[in-house]
Structure 1
Amino acid sequence: MRLTLLAGLVFMSTTPVLASDDVIGTETTFQSPNGLAERCVRIAQIPGGKYSSSDLKEETAFCQIDLYAPAVAVCPKTWSTSPGMMIYDVSDGNYAMDRTGFERNACSEGKSAKGLAKTDLAKFKPTMNASGTSGTFSPSALLYYHFSRYFDATVKVPVTVWRSMDAQMHLSEVARPGLSISGHNRSARMNNAGWQMLVAADQNPDKYSPTDELFTSDRQQIFGVLTSSPGHRYGSEINGTRKSGWGKGQNFDFQETPAFLALRSEKPLADAITDGLAKGARDPQIARDLGADTAPEQMVFWMKELSEIVVLDFIFSQQDRVGNIDFTPYYYWVENGEVKHKKAKHHEPGDASVPAQAKLIRRTNLNDNDAGGRVQYANFAKSTQMLEKLRHMSADTYQKLVALDQDLQSKGPLFEWVSASVGLNEGQIDQIVKNTSLATGILKATCEAGNLRFDLSPNEFFLTGAVVEQQIACGA
């Protein structure tokens, strides 16, 4: 295991010519059957980031996965729009230690094979932006993971690490089977197009451009990220009706959901919640998905999570957020003056292990974060003016954004991290700097006009039923 210290960033070029495998962090290496040294990199922590013990444990677990171990099986992900690789633990069950049998039989079903394995270990996602495919950029997921820890976000963003894989092993183990399986699914057109390109590129890396976004500098390995995507997909109550079609239309629909409407309200928090619920439920589909008696506590969680999503998506030029927001149910209650919570096993109340008064709260998971970071992507948070419409925000989120902008402008430690840690090129770095400056300017203007309330504190609201608005300097 090798550790490259973050302090060494100042001695490195901060503007690499191309996006690449030149990433910084703690490395673990594995040898492929062809003798290549594959790398798993726990990217160096972002300065000021708050990482939990479970974050670090999960990073470590990802970088302990030997893709060729007898107890590990890999399957092509042939559902949804982008190609990837699912990694399973087959140390127990019907396919115990039978990697070959699992890959031959379970993978060929063309769906998640978790039920046939002991469990799933991770998902590997490479970059894929060829013609006819769904936009995927692997450094994007790394940016979301680490920046969510910088912002100490309420929204749950999954742990993500960098990983390379022998291209010839990827070709035989994953890409060719993925092309075959996806070819039988008429609804998987973009997924199949991705597999076509991966097969061609694994055989000849020059087939994919820019090559350095997909292959290591020696052109012998493909790289991407390892992550996991727990959670359940929200309906129109958060993702919007999407009736206006892909692009700007569905992003405007997203802004007509109850929590987003509450964020847009200039009224105090309690009244904004009431308005958001009433206006959002005017749409029959949203009313059905929302259900009756949505708790104000749920709305405050949603409002804070959505405000964080908009900030992150604006900074990274995310083009594929709407329709891809998930949740995990938790029980929340107050005990001895403190907010307690426990992950719920089911979606309906009835867990005898929690107090009878516990509320079932859906906590938002931001799992699908692979369509940001590239200059070529459409920034729908920007083009549909989501930030301009916000009237409620957490003071902490605002202050961290202002501090981030100041650091990026002065080329401080955060700028050095962005420039050297995840393999971005000069244009991609510059885009993050410019978007952060623009986002800060938009929210500062709203603040200076007296139109931004710093009142999004879910725990305080859960404890007292209200939030005392914070008064902070707009330039803080």
Structure 2
Amino acid sequence: MSKKWISVLCVTACASSSFALNLSELQGERRVEFRSPQGLAEVCVVPKKWPGASYRADDVEKENDLCSYDFHTNMGICPKYTSTNPAILLLKPNASYSKAAIDASNCDVKKMNVKTEAKFKQSVTCSYTPAILAYYPISRILGNVGRVPVAVIRSMDRDVHSRQTDKAIAHFQNSADEIKYSWNAMGKVHKNPANYPTVIDGTLSQIYGALSDNIKNEEQYVEVSGKGSYDTRYERFLQQPPFLKVSGSQTVEQMLGTKDFATVAQTVTQMKDVSDLVLLDTLMNQQDRIGNIHYKFYWYAANPSTQKIERMKSEAKWVGNQLQVPQAERDLMAGKQAALIKEMVLKDNDCGIVKTNMMRRVSALEKVRHMSYNTYRRFMAFERTLKDAYTKDYFMKEMLFTSSDYGVLVGNASKAKQILLSKCQAGELIFDVDLETYIPGATKPSYRCDL
């Protein structure tokens, strides 16, 4: 099935719900209101935190940033012209381009050299608002797996969004680009708003969706996704060296011939990221991950005295086929047990929950042999909570899940638990990709399957 047909089918499915959202009922952990030029009260809602989840130190800062962005005063807005799904880009004005100049431009973002701070997406084409929202807390519940960007609930005056949609449709009038059909689908939403309750609020005056932080300066993680046909992308993923390591029976030490921190750091981190990715996407019914995997460079240094990993952002970058690492960084890491690491970033999380579960289709989790014990135990604890009324209420109120959406999550988690527990009890799951266990002097932890 081509991406184009996926888009057409998804907009039909998204329009079939009887759900109608009352924006005034959304409270979350924090709620901010903005006034549109027509006087409508647009909202930004920060969903409540999940107790005990591993939220990052800067998550609250990112949430506050997202809920400080005003479509009408402090941020330029443009329709997105790249990839396959429609979105509104929030662009930061600079000395060359004011908000008014950005809004009046032809939205050639690269030419303007303005920073995209956030993306506003809805449940149209392959995108689904609850998927974007839920990836954020579930990634933190599992220990910040995938380094998923922060996302909040946001609404926009429908008249304002309609003008952005018209601008995009006009831009692609004579184009054959895939996203043209997605913007045309959004145009149908504005012509018949009452037919799209998963996109338009109950008053039919506002469009709503997820506003997510835009990760910058990331690179495509091609060695994990591979290159080739879109139709066989998941089968290709299973044959790439990173997944073959994760699905292999050799331990990390057997693969590399050492447990030296600096030597194993990249391999262990990559293997953990890949197995985490498979579990997370299995839970979330992800349909379109392969080809949408990214990374950023960080330095990891082992500190034996604290038994912790010290992490530092790197300015390393590719120039052609050569990786250029600042000499100042090399000097700083000299003499340390340190390695330059590719940290996986899962920034595109919109095509989930009500979509085709591609990881389950190719039985990816069944093939996983290496996993982080931290991820395993956190998942097992989370799966137990899915039977609680509190958990269902959380996902329906904070993530905008329907009862059917929640049933999908529960079913996927139950299947994942069955797979992982049986593999662990059979001795077919190797817990050797927690990098902290490779710090010199680290004690070997004890493992239990039935947590």
TM-score, shorter chain, exceeding 0.5 = yes
User: Taking structure 1 as the reference length, what is the TM-score of the superposition?
Assistant: 0.82
Amino acid at match of 1:18: F
**What's the CA shift for 1:231?**
4.4
C-alpha distance in structure 1 between counterparts of 2:334 and 2:90, whole Å: 39
Alignment CA distance shift 1:154-1:147 (3 Å): closer
Alignment CA distance shift 1:466-1:264 (3 Å): farther
In 2, are the aligned partners of 1:333 and 1:339 still within 8 Å (CA)? yes
Report what 1:277 is aligned to. none
Report what 1:285 is aligned to. none
Report what 2:341 is aligned to. 361
In 1, are the aligned partners of 2:366 and 2:419 still within 8 Å (CA)? yes
Report what 1:124 is aligned to. 120
**What's the CA shift for 1:400?**
1.6
Measured against aligned partners, the alpha-carbon deviations of 1:117-140 in whole angstroms (never above 9, x if no partner) come to 3x33211111213xxxxx111211
**What's the CA shift for 1:314?**
0.5
Report what 1:183 is aligned to. 173
**What's the CA shift for 1:219?**
1.3
Amino acid at match of 1:220: S
In 2, are the aligned partners of 1:139 and 1:422 still within 8 Å (CA)? yes
In the alignment, structure 1 residue 34 sits paired with structure 2 residue 38: yes
In 2, are the aligned partners of 1:392 and 1:453 still within 8 Å (CA)? yes
Instruction: Indicate the percent of aligned positions where both proteins have the same amino acid.
Output: 27
In the alignment, structure 1 residue 301 sits paired with structure 2 residue 298: no
Secondary structure of the 1:323 match is coil
> What stretches of structure 1 move > 3 A for 4+ residues in a row?
19-24, 111-114, 334-338, 464-468
Report what 1:441 is aligned to. 418
Secondary structure of the 2:39 match is coil
C-alpha distance in structure 2 between counterparts of 1:57 and 1:271, whole Å: 42
Mapping 1:54-203, distance limit 5 Å: 54-69=58-73, 71-90=74-93, 92-96=94-98, 99-105=99-105, 107=107, 109=108, 111-112=109-110, 115=113, 117=114, 119-129=115-125, 135-172=126-163, 174-186=164-176, 188-189=177-178, 191-203=179-191
**What's the CA shift for 1:23?**
4.7
C-alpha distance in structure 1 between counterparts of 2:392 and 2:327, whole Å: 46
C-alpha distance in structure 1 between counterparts of 2:138 and 2:27, whole Å: 16
User: Taking structure 2 as the reference length, what is the TM-score of the superposition?
Assistant: 0.86
Measured against aligned partners, the alpha-carbon deviations of 1:262-307 in whole angstroms (never above 9, x if no partner) come to 1111222222467xxxxxxxxxxxxxxxxxxx95311111111111
Report what 2:246 is aligned to. 263
Structure 1's unaligned 5+ residue stretches are 1-15, 130-134, 275-293
Mapping 1:423-438, distance limit 5 Å: 423-438=400-415
In 1, are the aligned partners of 2:285 and 2:353 still within 8 Å (CA)? yes
In 1, are the aligned partners of 2:304 and 2:441 still within 8 Å (CA)? no
In 2, are the aligned partners of 1:163 and 1:226 still within 8 Å (CA)? yes
Report what 2:293 is aligned to. 325
Report what 1:407 is aligned to. 385
Secondary structure of the 2:89 match is strand
In 1, are the aligned partners of 2:146 and 2:345 still within 8 Å (CA)? yes
In the alignment, structure 1 residue 233 sits paired with structure 2 residue 219: yes
**What's the CA shift for 1:440?**
0.4
Report what 1:216 is aligned to. 201
Match of 1:351 among 304, 321, 327: 327
In 2, are the aligned partners of 1:23 and 1:423 still within 8 Å (CA)? no
C-alpha distance in structure 1 between counterparts of 2:357 and 2:255, whole Å: 27
C-alpha distance in structure 2 between counterparts of 1:318 and 1:48, whole Å: 25
C-alpha distance in structure 2 between counterparts of 1:193 and 1:446, whole Å: 44
In 2, are the aligned partners of 1:126 and 1:214 still within 8 Å (CA)? yes
C-alpha distance in structure 1 between counterparts of 2:204 and 2:183, whole Å: 18
C-alpha distance in structure 1 between counterparts of 2:245 and 2:420, whole Å: 17
Alignment CA distance shift 1:466-1:342 (3 Å): same
Amino acid at match of 1:143: A
Mapping 1:33-52, distance limit 5 Å: 33-52=37-56
**What's the CA shift for 1:398?**
1.2
Amino acid at match of 1:95: Y
**What's the CA shift for 1:444?**
0.7
Match of 1:341 among 311, 315, 319: 311
Alignment CA distance shift 1:33-1:273 (3 Å): farther
Measured against aligned partners, the alpha-carbon deviations of 1:44-76 in whole angstroms (never above 9, x if no partner) come to 11232222331001101100111100x421011
C-alpha distance in structure 1 between counterparts of 2:26 and 2:256, whole Å: 43
Report what 1:11 is aligned to. none
Amino acid at match of 2:293: I
C-alpha distance in structure 1 between counterparts of 2:78 and 2:92, whole Å: 11
Alignment CA distance shift 1:273-1:221 (3 Å): farther
Report what 1:253 is aligned to. 236
Residues paired across the two proteins, number: 416
In 2, are the aligned partners of 1:24 and 1:41 still within 8 Å (CA)? yes
Measured against aligned partners, the alpha-carbon deviations of 1:1-41 in whole angstroms (never above 9, x if no partner) come to xxxxxxxxxxxxxxx96374665512111111111110101
Secondary structure of the 2:91 match is strand
C-alpha distance in structure 2 between counterparts of 1:198 and 1:273, whole Å: 51
